[in-house]
Amino acid sequence: MENNWVKIFETSNPVTSQIILSMLRENEIEAYEINKIDSSYTFFGRAEIYCKPEQSMMAKHLISTQNEE
């Protein structure tokens, strides 16, 4: 992983994180997740999604459109 990736989304819901990650990949946006959610207590921690800086505006737009539905 390169150091210049930017965080574009954060949630405490692992299902939401996977839906957003899949949607980004379907739209050919290179993205990955860092899951910091505690496996024993799922209400502790966050899942973060990162992408390349040049794709971040499009990714944020897609996420906002997804959240409107």
- SS3 for 8? strand
Residue-wise pLDDT for 3-30, tens only, equals 789 999 999 888 899 999 999 999 999 9
Q: Exposure string (b/e) for 7-24, b if CB count within 10 Å is 16 or more?
A: ebbeeeebeebeebbebb
Does the pTM surpass 0.75? The reply is yes
Q: How many domains does the chain have?
A: 1
> Is the backbone of residue 45 left (phi > 0), alpha (psi -120 to 50) or beta?
left
Domain assignment present for 1: no
Full domain range(s) for residue 13 = 6-68
How many percent of the chain have pLDDT more than 90?
Answer: 61
Structure tokens, 41:
């207590």
Domain assignment present for 29: yes
How many percent of the chain have pLDDT more than 70?
Answer: 87
Q: Is the pLDDT score of 43 beyond 70? A: no
